[in-house]
Chains A and B, each alone.
Chain A
Amino acid sequence: MRSTPPFIRRLSDGAGAAGAAYRAGLAAALAQTPVLLGRAVFYGVCLMVLITFWDKVAAHRLPGTLAARLPAGGLGTYVGVTEWVTLSVPAVHFKLEDDIRAGALEPHLLRPKSYLAQTLAGQAGFMTARLVMLGAAGLLLLALFARTWPSVPTMGAVFTLGVTGAAIGLLLLTLVGLTAFWLRRVLPPMLIVQKLAFLLGGLFAPIAFYPGWLYRLAWFSPFGAHLAFAGAAIIGPPSWTGFATMLALQSFWLAALTALAVLVWRAGLRKTLREGV
């Protein structure tokens, strides 16, 4: 019988450990159900304010073709989707900052599996619980605000682009967290990334409202892939080509940001091993 090649065995062991970390993260999030419910209530409050605001704007201030393209209660539903993604991404940057600054990284470095992979898997588990909880809350809120639920294909597209967008958000915050190797405190870069996500991601308003050049800039940025694609899918259900294009662009950003996170992590790790925590 042929034995498994070492590379495949390492890959399989790594995936097994990451899977266990993912399940642990999911279990940890579910163990804090009151916190999850609190987040769902916060999501509801945000939506109530924003839906009321956008309904008024849409009724009085948005003439022309753009308004006509929106579904019933369109912008409120759009914000529901972008907020669903935003609020589902866990604060991995603060965990990284804590571990790097306070020396909690050391016990993890004494293990045979990558700290970065284990942390990301655990946080992805956390994120899954939030996506499910806030997704259910979102559908409930749609009913409460008397909005029609999107068709099943549209929901499928929003779900796929939203989950992938949340993963991109997790990687963006991971990069922010890794700056703690050099900056110690991650609040300044976090504020920059957060504001860029608001603006270029179109958190409160679709990027389709922007002038052409700014729209293209946002569309091709990781922030657009993070938030705007899922939002765009709820405003106008995408064609198969449109959906595939957005998913391909998201896949590109997932791969690019993962590669960047690995490079930054390795540089930070080299610094830590040389200089100590």
Chain B
Amino acid sequence: MNPAVRLKELRKTYRFAKARRGLLGSLAGLLHPQFTHLEAVGGVSFEIAAGERVAIIGPNGAGKSTTLKMLCGVLEPSGGEASVLGFTPWKERRRLAYEIGVVFGQRSQLWTELPVRDSFALLRRVYDQPEDAFARRQGDLVERFGVGALLDQPVNRLSLGQRMRCEIVAALLHAPKLLFLDEPTIGLDVTAKAAIRDFIREQSQAEGQTVLLTSHDTRDIELVCERVIVINAGRIVLDEPTEQLRRYIARKLVTLQSAAPQLALDLPGVTRRPSEPHTTILEIDTRATRVDAVIARALALGGIEDVTVEDPPMEEVVHEIYAALHP
């Protein structure tokens, strides 16, 4: 069976005009511009099978968004080959558009002033969907994602979590075979994040959709994807099943502010990071100890003034993976 996505030595180099100093420099720049080149993606190759859910992760500027844009067809590569569902994305962008669904966490594809229902109706015409089949599919998705009560509300009155659920429904309305998700849970609260992850995973399993996801949230990767591709400095560092990477991504950072200068917490899988007095930063291996168990133990000690739970920065995760591969 042909893979859903196939990349071979895909490269992208951006070219920028050099800014020169002073008025004369600016004039010289107009007449004889000089350019610098920045390699964003330096020969990336991988394949994704139909129905697979894959995360592309990496620090900021690693080249993951550039790779995703080339796969969607909105950026031409400098070299290499790619095939997405049998299409060359940058040459057959519009034909490919019928087959893919895209969600950008920070950008809306819905009309903000209009009720959600009207945006969906517009998308039916944009994707040339027959009315009956579209209505049935919209009904199914609306039920699955629980957005029935939101349909008649203007998009600009929805909460971020509600809007994101509607965005995902909008991306799925034309029954795409492949779903691109760029930071789909960014800015959401914990409950909304969990709901979105469940919806994406269940939807993909139900319809056999291929999912390609980028995120800075390691829980998105852990709970949605079965495979992780790590990109750093425009190159693939690692391509492994998620299970193999769990030791790197199954971690949380818990920061405790306390009346006491130091807290003594001795639990398996919990290590203390250097910190100021009255602040305790704990790194938790969630395979060994659950976050709630750590917080419960800390609260039992008394004098806790504040608690923050967060993911380790993606830069750090990638650095550790890189360090483990190149000791």
Contact = CB atoms under 8 A, between A and B. Distances in A.
A232 B23 CA distance: 49
Given A109-B74, A276-B14, A31 B104 contact: no
A232 B90 CA distance: 49
A106 B126 contact: no
A273 interface: yes
B100 interface: yes
A130 to B, nearest CB: 15
A261 B286 CA distance: 56
Interface stretch (A38-46, A52-60, A110-118, A193-201): A110-118
Given A27-B114, A112-B127, A106 B98 contact: no
A104 B107 contact: yes
Nearest to A272: B74
Nearest to A12: B128
Interface string B126-167: 111000000000000000000000000010000000000000
A106 B66 contact: no
Given A16-B125, A31-B113, A276-B66, A112 B104 contact: no
B107 A17 contact: no
A24 B104 contact: no
A277 B65 CA distance: 12
B93 interface: yes
A160 B209 CA distance: 51
A274 B78 CA distance: 9
Contact of B118 (A24, A107, A113, A276): A24
Given A118-B126, A276-B66, A110 B74 contact: yes
Contact of A32 (B66, B73, B113, B124): B113
Contacts of A112: 94-95, 97-98, 126-128
A176 to B, nearest CB: 23
Contacts of B66: 276
A28 interface: yes
A274 B76 contact: yes
Contact of B100 (A20, A110, A277): A110
B72 interface: yes
Interface string A7-47: 00000010011011100100110011000000000000000
Nearest to A105: B74
A31 B114 contact: yes
Contacts of A277: 74
A111 B15 CA distance: 27
A275 B90 contact: no
27 contacts: A13-B128, A16-B128, A17-B125, A19-B125, A20-B124, A20-B126, A21-B122, A21-B125, A27-B114, A28-B111, A31-B113, A31-B154, A106-B72, A106-B104, A106-B107, A108-B109, A109-B73, A109-B74, A110-B72, A111-B97, A111-B127, A112-B127, A113-B126, A272-B74, A273-B76, A276-B69, A277-B74
Given A24-B122, A113-B126, 4 more contacts: A16-B125, A19-B125, A20-B122, A276-B66
